[in-house]
Homo-oligomer: A and B are copies of this chain.
Amino acid sequence: MNFIDRFKGIVPPVATPYHADGSVDTLSLKRLIRHLLDGGVHGLFLLGSTSECVLLDAKDRGRVLETALAEVNGKVPVVAGVMDAATDVCLNHARLAKSLGVDGLVVTAPYYTRTNQAETIDHFRYMHGEIGLPVVAYDIPVCVNIKLLRDTVHNLAREGLICGLKDSSGDEGGFRMLIRDFKDKPHFRLFTGSEIVADTAILSGASGCVPGLANVDPHAYVRLYDAAARGDAVAARREQERLIDLFQMVFWSGSELSPGAAGVGSFKVALKHKGIFEHGHMRRPNRPIPDAVQARIKEHLMSLGLS
């Protein structure tokens, strides 16, 4: 079965564990991969925002990919994030990822440079022309400061530059419009990046979901996906609501951490409490989750039967 046939369902963005000194903790990473595979996930997204991708240099990115790919060993498709301000740096990241054996790439618009839609299409054109791996466009305007417009997604697909989209734009209406537009192209993969409307995205026809929270509870997201995919809205909603409850921990750090750090940080603290990660901290400038919140997360996991 080729990549695109297999590439759907729950594809968690894999968090990156560190040793106390900040270096990549490959043992913990392997435990996480096994945890996710045990959970039944359908694919893995390495080096995404949840992986703190932009906080990792080329060597670290390589180590994450090697470790994860070895552990996965072909059981599920693996895609790697390629995000940087510069096209040429992205191409280097992509070449590395390709050489290590990933199945596809997940590519954002360049950031910092304030590229427009046309320049962004160029960026995907270079990626397609010089790498040749399947590319999923990653729409995350809060980070890169440009929204992939509906027309842009159409142009990218029509030209064969992308095989799908991961939508982390928060614009669920626009995402629904894309599901409509690509109805007759069932192999164009449309993933939501939302943890909290995964059930309805899949019920509406999305190919799957890329939820950071699946690091903590992959089993539940897989049950959610299975229910939604077979049209059982009630069962899907039940799983979703429990996961929304679980998700509340990302708000507990208040204004002390930025929203992105509070999200990823909470997931990593939960993974530590579950015995999967040795440490729960992030790379700088992200602050650690406050101790009181860490303790509260521990109770939260217990109360939800997750530790």
Query: By the criterion CB–CB under 8 Å, are A87 and B285 in contact?
Result: yes
Query: By the criterion CB–CB under 8 Å, are A113 and B54 in contact?
Result: yes
Query: By the criterion CB–CB under 8 Å, are B259 and A114 in contact?
Result: yes
Say which one of A9-17, A65-73, A216-224, A237-245 lies at the interface with B: A237-245
Q: Is A299 an interface residue (CB 8 A)?
A: no
Task: Report the Cα distance A261→B180, complex, angstroms.
Answer: 24
Residue of B nearest to A287 (CB): B119
Q: Is A252 an interface residue (CB 8 A)?
A: no
Greatest chain B CB density within 10 A among A143, A194, A200 is at A200
Q: Is A142 an interface residue (CB 8 A)?
A: yes
Q: What is the CB-to-nearest-CB distance from A226 to chain B, in angstroms, rounded to a whole number? A: 15
Q: What is the CB-to-nearest-CB distance from A260 to chain B, in angstroms, rounded to a whole number? A: 5
Q: Mark A221-257, 1 if CB is under 8 A from B, else 0.
A: 0000000000101100100110011000000000111
Q: List residues 141-191 of chain A with CB under 8 A from any CB of chain B.
A: 142-145, 170-173, 176-177, 180, 183
B residues less than 8 Å from A234 (CB atoms): 231
Within 8 Å by CB of A123, from B116, B183, B284, lies B284
B residues less than 8 Å from A204 (CB atoms): 197, 199-200, 237, 240
Task: Report the Cα distance A185→B217, complex, angstroms.
Answer: 28
Task: Report the Cα distance A124→B58, complex, angstroms.
Answer: 24
Task: Report the Cα distance A114→B143, complex, angstroms.
Answer: 7
Q: List residues 94-145 of chain A with CB under 8 A from any CB of chain B.
A: 110-116, 118-120, 122-123, 126, 142-145
B residues less than 8 Å from A196 (CB atoms): 173, 176-177
B residues less than 8 Å from A298 (CB atoms): none
Task: Report the Cα distance A56→B171, complex, angstroms.
Answer: 31
Task: Report the count of interface residues on A (CB-CB < 8 A).
Answer: 66
Given A256-B118, A258-B119: A180 touches B244 (CB 8 Å cut-off):
yes
Q: Is A86 an interface residue (CB 8 A)?
A: yes
Task: Report the Cα distance A84→B264, complex, angstroms.
Answer: 19
Within 8 Å by CB of A237, from B88, B173, B203, B237, lies B203
Q: Is A33 an interface residue (CB 8 A)?
A: no
Q: What is the CB-to-nearest-CB distance from A234 to chain B, in angstroms, rounded to a whole number? A: 6
Task: Report the Cα distance A200→B88, complex, angstroms.
Answer: 39
Q: Is A57 an interface residue (CB 8 A)?
A: yes
Task: Report the Cα distance A170→B201, complex, angstroms.
Answer: 15
Query: By the criterion CB–CB under 8 Å, are B173 and A258 in contact?
Result: no
Q: Is A275 an interface residue (CB 8 A)?
A: no
Given A111-B112, A126-B285, A285-B110: A119 touches B203 (CB 8 Å cut-off):
no
| Further pairs besides A55-B87, A114-B143: 9, Cβ < 8 Å | A54-B86, A113-B260, A114-B260, A115-B258, A122-B287, A123-B284, A170-B171, A203-B203, A204-B237
10 of the cross-chain contacts (CB-CB < 8 Å) are A54-B113, A55-B113, A57-B92, A86-B284, A113-B143, A172-B197, A173-B196, A180-B245, A197-B200, A197-B204
